[in-house]
Amino acid sequence: MQSDEAREVGAAAIVAGGRLLLAQRVGPPELAGLWELPGGKIEPGETPAEGLRRELVEELGVLTAVGGRVGADVPLPNGMVLRAYRVTLLDGEPAALEHSAVRWVGPAELSAAELVPNDRVWLPDLLTLLRVE
Ligand code: DCP
């Protein structure tokens, strides 16, 4: 049975040493080459934190701790809702296991980055995170 509650896509704002981790999408074609906060769909039965931790193992090969929300909910055209969370690295160096590249950006590089459209609304929130880090 379908849940009435919109399913969630979790996205990770991983900040370390005053920089934010961006990951470059491989697809679909309209998003390929653009940069995003890594993450993915939370599966039924997972909490958002559990699902996001799992996605970050799969996508980046790192162990993380998921903290509080960052920025606003972003409704997706497919009925899902995209939510960003503050995430701390516990173990491992992020690797592009499912992306074409990953990179750490400071405020200027973040402002200039070609982000996926859904993530652009978080730019002010992400810049604030970098400033207070
Ligand atoms: N998305 C986004 N911004 C992000 C992360 C995701 O706009 N920072 C969007 C892109 C997709 C949807 O959310 O429309 C799902 O993201 P993914 O394709 O990355 O999620 P999964 O890896 O879980 O998808 P699948 O299991 O289908 O491969």
Strand, helix or coil at 42? coil
Residues 6+ apart with CB under 8 A from 39: 9, 10, 11, 12, 52, 55, 56, 59, 84
Ligand 1 atom closest to the CA of 38, numbered from 1? 8
- Whether the per-residue pLDDT at 16 is higher than 70: the answer is yes
Q: How many CB atoms lie within 10 A of CB 71?
A: 21
Instruction: For ligand 1, atom 2, name the residue with the nearest CA.
Output: 118
For 53-106, write each residue's pLDDT tens digit: 999 999 999 999 999 999 999 999 999 999 999 999 999 999 999 999 999 999
The CA 128 to ligand 1 mean position distance, Å, reads: 24
The token pair at 81 is 């809702």
Mean pLDDT, the chain, whole residue set? 96
Q: N- to C-terminal Cα distance for the chain? A: 43
Please give the model's pTM, rounded to 2 decimal places: 0.95
Instruction: For ligand 1, atom 7, name the residue with the nearest CA.
Output: 118
Q: What is the pLDDT of residue 95?
A: 98
| % of residues, the chain, pLDDT over 70 | 95
Ligand 1 atom closest to the CA of 78, numbered from 1? 14
User: In the chain, which residue ranges form alpha helices assigned H by DSSP?
Assistant: 48-60, 107-112, 117-120, 123-132
- Whether the per-residue pLDDT at 2 is higher than 80: the answer is no
- Going by pLDDT thresholds of 50, 70 and 90, the confidence category of residue 132 is confident
